[in-house]
Amino acid sequence: MTKKKTNQGVEILAIGTELLLGNILNSNAKWLAEQLALIGLSHYRQTVVGDNIERLKEIVLEASQRSHILITTGGLGPTMDDLTTETIAQAFKADLVEHKAILQDIKNKLNNLDIFPESNLKQSLLPEGATILPNPLGTAPGMIWSPEDNFTIITFPGVPSEMKIMWKKTAKPWILENHASGKIIKSKTIKIAGIPESALTERISDLITKTNPTIAPYASLGEVKLRITAQAKTAQEANKLIQPIESELEKRIGLSIFGRDEESLASIVIDLLRKRRETIALAESCTGGQIASSLTSIPGSSDVFLGGVVAYSNSIKQNILKVPLNLLEEHGAVSSAVAKSMANKTRQLFNSDWSIAVSGIAGPSGGSQGKPVGLVEIFISGNTAQESIQENFGPHRGRDYIQKLSVVRALDRLRLFLLMQS
């Protein structure tokens, strides 16, 4: 009774009311999606459903109409609202069979308990014909079960560590043996700052229509990512497809590419400074410590980052950074002159090779005709070189946006500035 399927791929179904209430992120689906991509299995849909028998049954039956493999996470525990196994069995009108091996395994794992908990008993039941998917860490085994020709259900518990080891030890080898596509999918992400998404995509519009590899843009605050994805028989072949595209992007976008894959502006700036064996210190006004936070979120940042002053009030700019009073009075705190003084004094105070100062009006109040909310002065200071940058991010996108974009811009300008220094 082989059916005509619409999608012919894999689906992931995460089961748990806590996901529908927004209590937790569906990190299991992300992880499994990545694993499926790595072994080249097509995966077209992810679903989340609560701990509800009727709705779960409905989704499992839908999936059997369109896909070859349904991977589920969650609902295998011992409590009343863990109902994945029995509901799937019901959906295909199968009986549950007790597995002595599971019972024994649970007994071993609960060896501190004198009495076998009634509630764990149901974890030893699987639909007739299902294979145990062993759980080396917890009491909840999964299963691999084909209730129909051409349709297999693989169940995992929701606990990420258990799900991951079960995938690696049993599920992935089973899939590779039974559903090998012969192809793998590999991605590389190119990260860009300083160019709006629309302008960028116009510059590479001919490349975006390609099919292997594909190129897809994703915009986030102040950054654009281009994801290059190739299908091939081996990782080496996939890399050979990705490489010329990456070179072409480098040619067209140049220095606006700041990093790849897991790299961030902060990690790149730290790497650049580490290679130069140079240090940096910060004077932050409107960004209020966010540049420091961003740098210190990177392990090993202490190699190059000495510290900073969050000079939020004018008196601190004057008393700690020693910005001359006449500069503050003549130009105002948000001025190129004051940013320059803040940067230079910070470099002296911390005895660092470089410093950045940021002073701006993040709003919502504090703006004026000449100095509107969104105006930000950035100054980069070094022994032999310096740069003054003025940005106007506008008032409309709010305080959080102005602060975050100031961080991106300061780190990106420092990056470009360091690249120019030989």
Q: Which of residues 64-103 bind a copy of itself (CB under 8 A)?
A: 77-81
Q: Tell me which residue has tokens 């609960």.
A: 110
Q: What is the DSSP letter of 35?
A: H
Contact pick of 97, 176, 180, 221 for a copy of itself (by CB under 8 A): 221
Output the smallest distance, CB 238 to a copy of itself, in A.
13
Contact pick of 95, 118, 262, 329 for a copy of itself (by CB under 8 A): 118
Helix (H) or strand (E) holding 285: none
Task: Give me the half-sphere count of Cα atoms (radius 13 Å) on the Cβ side of residue 385.
Answer: 9
Stretch that binds a copy of itself, among 26-34, 126-134, 166-174, 378-386 (CB under 8 A): 26-34
Asked if residues 352 and 336 have their Cβ atoms less than 8 Å apart, the reply is: no
| 49 lies in the site for a copy of itself, by CB under 8 A | yes
Output the smallest distance, CB 246 to a copy of itself, in A.
17
Asked if residues 201 and 262 have their Cβ atoms less than 8 Å apart, the reply is: no
Please state whether the peptide bond connecting residue 213 to the residue before it is cis, i.e. omega within 30 degrees of 0: yes
| 104 lies in the site for a copy of itself, by CB under 8 A | no
Stretch that binds a copy of itself, among 86-94, 146-154, 202-210, 251-259 (CB under 8 A): 202-210
| 4 lies in the site for a copy of itself, by CB under 8 A | no
Output the smallest distance, CB 146 to a copy of itself, in A.
24
Contact pick of 137, 195, 241, 416 for a copy of itself (by CB under 8 A): 137
Q: What is the DSSP letter of 24?
A: S
Q: What is the 3-state secondary structure (H, E, C) of 206-259?
A: HHHCCCCCEEEEEEECCEEEEEEEEEECCHHHHHHHHHHHHHHHHHHHHHHEEE
Pick out residues in 356-395 that bind a copy of itself (CB under 8 A).
363-365
- Interface with a copy of itself (CB under 8 A), residue total 117
Stretch that binds a copy of itself, among 172-180, 311-319, 376-384, 410-418 (CB under 8 A): 311-319
Contact pick of 39, 181, 195, 197 for a copy of itself (by CB under 8 A): 197
Helix (H) or strand (E) holding 52: none
Contact pick of 60, 63, 153, 282 for a copy of itself (by CB under 8 A): 282
What is the rounded CA–CA span in Å between residue 68 and residue 81? 27
Distance of CA 412 to the CA centre of its chain: 20
What is the rounded CA–CA span in Å between residue 129 and residue 5? 23
| 309 lies in the site for a copy of itself, by CB under 8 A | yes
- Nearest to a copy of itself of 148, 202 (CB atom): 202
Contact pick of 44, 65, 263, 420 for a copy of itself (by CB under 8 A): 44
Contact pick of 8, 168, 218, 421 for a copy of itself (by CB under 8 A): 218
What is the rounded CA–CA span in Å between residue 191 and residue 264? 8
- Nearest to a copy of itself of 126, 407 (CB atom): 407
| 397 lies in the site for a copy of itself, by CB under 8 A | yes
Single out the residue of 416, 352, 353 nearest to residue 389, CA to CA. Answer: 416
